[in-house]
Structure formats: C-alpha cells, structure tokens
Chain A
C-alpha cells in the first residue's frame, strides 16, 4: 500500500486558492489518487480522483505530474465553509484498507 505524506495544516483567507500537495513516492502502476474532505463530526466525503495529468470537477482540481510521485489538490477561491481536513489516499480499489492518515487541516479565515 503506497504511503502518502501531506502537510499537517494550512491556513488561508477567503477568496484565495489553496493548494495541498501530497507525496506518494512508491505509487504503483494500478494505483489511483483519491482525495476526501471531512468536516468536524461528519464522515469523510469523496471530492476528486485521478490517475494522471489533470482532473477538474465542480469542487476542486487535481494535478498529477508525469511521474505520479506527487499530486496537488487545488481549491479555487475558498470560503469559510471549506475549513476541513483533507485526506490524500492512494490505492487500486482492491485493497481492503484505505489509510486515511492524519490529513491536512485547512483553516480558512475571513
């Protein structure tokens, strides 16, 4: 199971773009990169997934370089409601265990 490393915390202000980089040096060929968001007292929520290059949806963008050893989650123009913990996970969908790790606590201030 590929291990991931991401910053413990990040601070931002409303309207700014937040970029969270996740390192996964031993990612396997069949692995996908998945990001979840968790608000206090709630379960995590899937926000985006990708394999290579760039993926964009209504919530975020995910940038994956050619070597796939890292990925960057980009949250455009954050608001106070984007304050949450963001988890980066790597796997091929066949592992029983998803290691959520400590995630990155993003705090958005007014």
Chain B
C-alpha cells in the first residue's frame, strides 16, 4: 500500500483567501506531481518536481505555486483563491526507474465560494 497523504481532504473557502494544500510521502520517492481534475474529466498535470529544490510547471496553466524543500513534502499554494480554482487536486509520487508507476494520494476537493 502506497504511503502518500494529502490534507485537507475537503476544503471550502471564500474568494481571495490564501490556501496551501499539503502532500507528503514516506516512500522516499524523488519525483512528485500535482494534478487537477474536474468531476468526470481528464487529469491535468499542473506541477512536478524531480527532487529537492526542483519544481516545474506542467501542461495546464495554473495560478498555484509549489515548493520542494524536503524530499517527502510537496505543498501547493494558491495565493488568492477564486471560484475557477474549484476542483479536485491530486498529488502523486514515483521513484526514478519505476517506469511510470505513480502512487496517488486521496486528493483534496477544493470549493471556492
């Protein structure tokens, strides 16, 4: 069983608030990812990291930012939440050499009112 955690699982917040979605993994994986997925729709990669101090934007433009100060921790921050940010955010990790076997967290469902 994969050990990757996301908090909070659900978040309802007002427009303009700053929020941080937490993601942690205990497997020592070097690669970590953030995906965004609306209900019934495709997953879109918004950020990824190949290791400590490495962060890159994914294919879907996102107003969020990420950091990777520790191997196990990959938080995502929205400086000013908007209703358009309402979505499910999924964090994943994998180890180089595992050939695309990503482990996903349970997700955070964000609603911005």
Residues of chain A having any CB pair with chain B under 8 Å: 32, 34, 36, 41-46, 49, 89, 91-93, 95-98, 100-103
Closest to B97 in A: A93
State the CA gap A34–B92 with chains docked (Å): 15
Are B42 and A101 neighbours in the complex by a CB distance under 8 Å? yes
Query: Total number of A-B contacts with CB less than 8 angstroms?
Result: 59
Contact A96 B56 (CB under 8 A): yes
A-B contact pairs, 22 of them (CB 8 A): A32-B100, A41-B88, A42-B106, A42-B107, A43-B90, A43-B91, A43-B92, A43-B106, A44-B43, A44-B90, A44-B104, A91-B99, A91-B100, A93-B96, A96-B56, A97-B58, A97-B59, A98-B45, A98-B102, A100-B35, A102-B42, A103-B42
Interface range, B side? 20 to 34
* Residue of chain B at shortest CB distance from A94: B96
Note all chain B residues with C-beta closer than 8 A to A36. Answer: 102
Given A43-B104, A91-B99, A93-B97, 4 extra CB contacts under 8 A: A41-B109, A44-B104, A96-B45, A96-B48
